[in-house]
Structure 1
Amino acid sequence: MNQSRNNQLAKAQTTYRERLKGRGYRRIQEWVPEQTFVQLRELCRDTGLSQRELIEEMIRAATERKFSKNGAGHE
């Protein structure tokens, strides 16, 4: 790939990241055990969700269970 194409791709990636950040998104990058990664990939495949969507759903579900378990946030 030539330098011009590399610069073009880098600029596109920067624009994409800035657009997401402007929409309130933050980047998460973590190291996980291989088995956890495989399970995440399988869950995504089985549910048809992206990794981001699945993580959002898991956090939402865990938060709801926490509030339900503690009785907070529910009447």
Structure 2
Amino acid sequence: MLSGLLKNRLLISDDPLTSNSRIKLAQNFISDKTRLNLNLPFKPNEQKDQSHLVTAAVDERQMVIQATLVR
């Protein structure tokens, strides 16, 4: 529930959300939308994205090394 409010910036957290995080209410919250969907589940996809970036970086480095060797 809190993740939807944090995503829409109705609540503010300075640090990543943990069990001891302090959360503040955004007093100057203004939304361009008439309705906000706060029921969206929070999906931590950061781990998947990060592993994909690592493999992409390794592949790119290998291609640069191979291109250098061919020259």
Normalised TM-score (structure 2): 0.35
Q: Which has the higher strand share?
A: 2
Considering Cα pairs closer than 8 Å and 6+ residues apart, tell me whether 1 or 2 has the greater RCO.
Answer: 2
Q: Which has the higher helix share?
A: 1
Please tell me whether Structure 1 or Structure 2 has the larger radius of gyration of its CA atoms: 2
Normalised TM-score (structure 1): 0.34
